[in-house]
Amino acid sequence: MKEFLSQLGSLSWWLSVVIVGILINIASTLLIKKFDKYLPRFSTWRRSHSQKRQADRLRQLDDLKMPHEQLMLGIDIILRRLRGIQFLLYAIVSIIIVIEWAKDDVQTFSLRSLIVRLVGLILFAILLHVAIVSFMRDTFNAINGEALLREARKSENDS
């Protein structure tokens, strides 16, 4: 700490701070010019994507005016929830297996056992990642389906 405070009073430290500040200012100017070039294109893409999603949602709401379509969506929501729970259980089981496996005492420590454990941990990490992402995707889709079904039933009751 004393070394830092002593360098804080030196001329070289202050010159380096000024030079770095000037370099950051120049870099930010160049980056702003790049952003100004790509921002309108991104904004146009975002607007068209949003309009496409809105049109798709309106089409889905129109399809859900029929009771059997609402029933099918309800069944799909239940299946997505169950599959999400299934993937969550896969994740929990894989964590338990890794914890139990890591607790095992290896009597003979060798390079082969280390490689086997490392490969196993990598495979379980991949399984855990896939399970959690799948759980989140299915849960998100089920929530969106529930909102769509709720909106369709509300518009049906309002009619």
- pLDDT confidence of residue 107: 59
The answer on 150 and 91 residing in a single domain is: yes
The answer on 76 and 42 residing in a single domain is: no
The answer on 157 and 81 residing in a single domain is: yes
The answer on 156 and 79 residing in a single domain is: yes
The answer on 35 and 112 residing in a single domain is: no
**For 1-56, how does the pLDDT look when each residue is reduced to its tens digit (9 = 90+)?**
677 777 777 888 788 889 999 999 999 888 888 888 888 888 888 999 999 999 99
Question: Which range of residues forms the domain containing residue 94?
Answer: 64-159
Domain boundary among 13, 32, 56: 56
Interatomic CA distance for residues 88 and 100, integer angstroms? 18
**For 90-145, how does the pLDDT look when each residue is reduced to its tens digit (9 = 90+)?**
888 888 877 777 676 555 667 777 777 778 788 888 888 888 888 899 889 899 98
The answer on 129 and 113 residing in a single domain is: yes
Distance of CA 139 to the CA centre of its chain: 13
The answer on 71 and 145 residing in a single domain is: yes
The answer on 101 and 42 residing in a single domain is: no
The answer on 74 and 33 residing in a single domain is: no
The answer on 68 and 46 residing in a single domain is: no
Q: Is 114 exposed, middle or buried (0-12, 13-18, 19+ CB in 10 A)?
A: exposed
The CA-to-CA distance between both ends of the chain, in Å, stands at 73
User: Cβ atoms within 10 A of the Cβ of 76, count?
Assistant: 14
C-alpha separations of 98 from 32, 45, 105, 135, 138 in Å: 47, 44, 13, 19, 25
The answer on 116 and 72 residing in a single domain is: yes
pTM, two decimal places: 0.57
- Total structural domains within the chain: 2
The answer on 154 and 104 residing in a single domain is: yes
